[in-house]
């Protein structure tokens, strides 16, 4: 997991139990949102992030103010990808908060029970948030497998004005084959497994959770979405190849050069710029207050005690991020 101090001191866990459900009849939902307590009222964090993989280096410097948004601020609901914890999406959440959204980070699909690619959880979360925040418009953002949650959420929430898919999982079975092929290149024993066994294993997963291949096909799902959709992909992403994405009338596709799947975990300047252009071009009525990403006052000693780690390292798929705060 990425940043335990960020989760503990800035984003807090919320639980929602539907008031109409019998006691203990179904588990309560868990998600994370911005801690708006007084102790972070003027929090600011200066970050320098470096991504290095296969000789490709990306660097970004950004300041997130993390100011508590107005009471009726629009929601930004963020869905992590496979094996990801909510803390892995704090960069996107902090940036969207800086724009004026109230960020909510869903549990990752592998943290949900039962596992169903986030489909059931997304529907329940939509109902929970529409009950808790009935008048607030919503922007959705899904990373990788998290993009599979966009359609079920929208089907249960009437105030979603737009959605963003970052490196979306396009076809579960095709992605599974590609991941296994990469693993087989590294592990000799996996080469002994016949192709038919892999195909059967992937089919068994779909049968067990009672989903069809079309439900996990991003191009099919995107064509059914009633809201504007921005898709951002990476040129070097073999997990979610940009060449397989189909552009459509409600589908804006931005392909970023020199970006891998895992590098898109960070909202690089190009992502921030393209998102703002898209919000303006679609004229989505979020009524955001664009903040200048700077602290209104110097950080106090009390605030600094929460930034106890000077350097954090995040390892993912033989890549290394370093974050200096």
| Domain boundaries, given as residue ranges, for the chain | 4-16+28-170+227-324, 172-212
Average pLDDT, integer, range 290-296: 41
Whether residue 302 has pLDDT greater than 60: no
**pLDDT tens-digit map of 137-174:** 999 999 999 999 999 999 999 999 999 999 999 888 88
Q: Which residues is 105 bridged to in the sheet?
A: 32, 78
Residues 6+ apart with CB under 8 A from 73: 100, 101, 102, 136
The b/e string for 57-82 (b: 16+ C-beta within 10 A; e otherwise) is: ebebebebbbbbbeeebbbbbbbbbb
As a whole number, the mean pLDDT across the chain is 76
157-179 b/e (C-beta count within 10 Å ≥ 16 → b): bebbbbbbbbbbbbbbbebbeee
- CATH number of this structure's domain 4-16+28-170+227-324, picked from the four choices 3.40.640.10, 3.40.50.1820, 3.40.50.300, 2.40.240.20: 3.40.50.1820
In contact, 139 and 162? CB cutoff 8 Å: yes
pTM value is 0.78
Residue 6, C-beta contacts closer than 8 angstroms, at least 6 positions apart: 87, 90
Reduced to 3 states (helix: H, G, I; strand: E, B; else coil), residue 305 is coil
Nearest CA to 76 out of 156, 151, 163, 6 is that of 163
């Amino acid at each position: 997991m990425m940043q335990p101090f960020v989760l503990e001191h800035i984003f807090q866990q919320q639980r929602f139990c539907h008031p109409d459900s019998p006691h203990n009849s179904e588990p309560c939902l868990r998600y994370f949102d911005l801690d708006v307590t007084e102790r972070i009222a003027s929090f600011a964090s200066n970050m320098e992030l470096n991504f290095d993989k296969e000789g490709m280096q990306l660097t970004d410097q950004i300041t997130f103010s993390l100011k508590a948004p107005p009471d009726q601020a629009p929601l930004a609901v963020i869905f992590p990808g496979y094996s990801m914890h909510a803390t892995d999406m704090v960069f996107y959440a902090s940036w969207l908060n800086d724009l004026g959204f109230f960020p909510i980070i869903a549990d990752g699909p592998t943290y949900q029970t039962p596992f169903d690619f986030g489909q059931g959880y997304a529907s329940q979360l939509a109902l929970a948030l529409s009950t808790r925040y009935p008048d607030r418009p919503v922007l959705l953002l899904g990373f990788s497998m998290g993009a599979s949650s966009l359609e079920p959420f929208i089907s249960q929430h009437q105030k979603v004005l737009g959605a963003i898919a970052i490196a979306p999982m396009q076809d579960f079975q095709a992605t599974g084959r590609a991941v296994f092929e990469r693993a087989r290149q590294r592990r000799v024993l996996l080469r002994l497994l016949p192709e038919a066994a892999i195909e059967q294993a992937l089919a068994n997963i779909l049968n067990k959770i009672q989903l069809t291949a079309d439900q996990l096909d991003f191009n099919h799902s995107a064509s059914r979405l009633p809201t504007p959709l921005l898709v951002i992909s990476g040129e070097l992403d073999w997990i979610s190849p940009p060449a397989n994405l189909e552009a459509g009338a409600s589908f804006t596709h931005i392909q970023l050069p020199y970006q891998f799947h895992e590098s898109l975990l960070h909202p690089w300047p190009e992502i921030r710029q393209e998102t703002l252009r898209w919000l303006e071009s679609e004229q989505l009525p979020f009524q955001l207050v664009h903040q200048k990403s700077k602290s209104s006052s110097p950080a106090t000693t009390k605030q600094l005690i929460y930034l106890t780690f000077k350097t954090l390292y995040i390892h993912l798929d033989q890549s290394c991020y370093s974050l200096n705060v």
